[in-house]
């Protein structure tokens, strides 16, 4: 793929990822957190499922393959998004996005342990540098709240989902995988909402617009692009670019929620972009 097209796709998907935190936090005015994200992904999954059906994209032919997509949806959508949206009740959109996107570090650690990928020391240094950038962006401290813990758990769940996609994704059509992992994840979240919270959703013009943005732009478009990038590249290399998303999360939090941006965010940005450059190398498999 042309490097400029690749870069544009990275910017599109990471900016949509980051901005979803602030928009989702606004949405919590009108809805309980798990129900909001359940509606988001159930709607997105239904729309995508209809699309891939009439587009006649190849669907799974066995229960095993459907089970793989369900498992990806459990981690990639249900686990990640439930933790993110509940975390927004106690921490800022910027903080939640920063914690969630330590995912690239976890992807490389889990990829080394479970997929036996071998990364050069320079790549490890880049990932650590990026992680330090996230720490600096946080103001060189992390106050432990329930939202902080949930933000970290969302990163773990995302890393697992990323490696599952890399392991199983080659046998699935990327559009079908995107559609049904969102649908399965949304249904899991819908069921969980009635168990884990007191669900409510206020039907207003702003709440519907927020839901549509989250379902279409921040889910269908964002997930399709992200899964496509994972599909054509290495999980560690591609996930290194996720360090961009916290900046879009912090920026959107500033623009939409008046969350402050401090000088150390800029310093952290230098570390993060340096880490992306160093970590963005193709790993070689162990012999």
Q: Mind listing the pLDDT tens digit for each residue in 193-251?
A: 999 999 999 999 999 999 999 999 998 888 778 878 877 776 656 766 767 887 788 88
Query: Looking at per-residue confidence, does 236 or 132 come out higher?
Result: 132
**Cα separations (Å) of 249 from 21, 170, 285?**
6, 30, 34
**Cα separations (Å) of 270 from 19, 133, 193, 240, 247?**
20, 7, 39, 14, 11
The chain-wide mean pLDDT, for the chain, equals: 85
Q: Mind listing the pLDDT tens digit for each residue in 56-88?
A: 999 999 999 999 999 999 999 999 999 999 999
User: pLDDT at position 287, please?
Assistant: 39
Distance from C-alpha of 282 to C-alpha of 285, rounded to nearest angstrom: 10
**pLDDT confidence bin for 129, thresholds 50/70/90:** confident
Q: Mind listing the pLDDT tens digit for each residue in 246-284?
A: 778 888 998 999 988 777 777 877 787 777 777 665 545
User: pLDDT at position 286, please?
Assistant: 47
Q: Mind listing the pLDDT tens digit for each residue in 183-195?
A: 999 999 999 999 9
The listed range with the strongest mean pLDDT (144-153, 159-168, 176-185) is 176-185
The three-class DSSP label of residue 260 is: coil
Percent of the chain, pLDDT > 70? 90
Two tokens, residue 239: 């996930």
**Residue 90 pLDDT exceeds 50:** yes
**Residue 285 pLDDT exceeds 60:** no
Domain residue spans in the chain?
3-285
User: pLDDT at position 156, please?
Assistant: 93
User: pLDDT at position 234, please?
Assistant: 67
3-state helix, strand, coil in the chain (%, to 5): 80, 0, 20
User: pLDDT at position 272, please?
Assistant: 74
Q: Is residue 54 a contact partner of residue 185, using CB atoms and an 8 Å limit? A: no
């Amino acid at each position: 793929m042309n490097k400029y097209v690749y870069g544009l796709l990275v910017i599109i998907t990471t900016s949509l990822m980051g901005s979803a935190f602030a928009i989702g936090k606004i949405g919590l005015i009108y809805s309980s957190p798990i129900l909001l994200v359940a509606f988001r992904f159930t709607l997105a999954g239904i729309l995508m499922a209809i699309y891939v059906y009439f587009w006649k994209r190849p669907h799974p032919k066995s229960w095993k393959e459907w089970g793989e997509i369900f498992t990806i949806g459990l981690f990639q959508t249900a686990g990640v998004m439930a933790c993110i949206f509940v975390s927004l009740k106690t921490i800022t959109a910027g903080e939640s996005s920063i914690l969630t996107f330590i995912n690239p570090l976890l992807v490389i650690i889990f990829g080394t342990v479970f997929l036996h990928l071998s990364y050069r020391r320079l790549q490890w240094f880049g990932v650590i540098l990026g992680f330090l950038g996230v720490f600096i962006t946080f103001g060189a401290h992390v106050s432990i709240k329930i939202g902080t813990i949930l933000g970290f758990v969302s990163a773990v769940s995302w890393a697992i989902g990323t490696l599952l996609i890399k392991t199983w994704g080659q046998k699935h059509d990327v559009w079908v995988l995107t559609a049904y992992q969102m649908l399965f994840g949304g249904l899991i979240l819908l069921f969980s909402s009635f168990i884990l919270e007191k669900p409510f959703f206020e039907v207003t013009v702003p709440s519907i617009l927020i839901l549509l943005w989250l379902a279409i732009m921040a889910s269908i478009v964002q997930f399709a692009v992200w899964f496509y990038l994972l599909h054509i590249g290495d999980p560690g290399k591609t996930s290194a670019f996720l360090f961009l998303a916290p900046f879009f999360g912090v920026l959107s939090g500033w623009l939409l929620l008046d969350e402050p941006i401090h000088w150390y965010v800029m310093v952290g940005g230098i570390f993060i972009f340096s880490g992306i450059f160093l970590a963005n190398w193709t790993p070689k498999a162990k012999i």
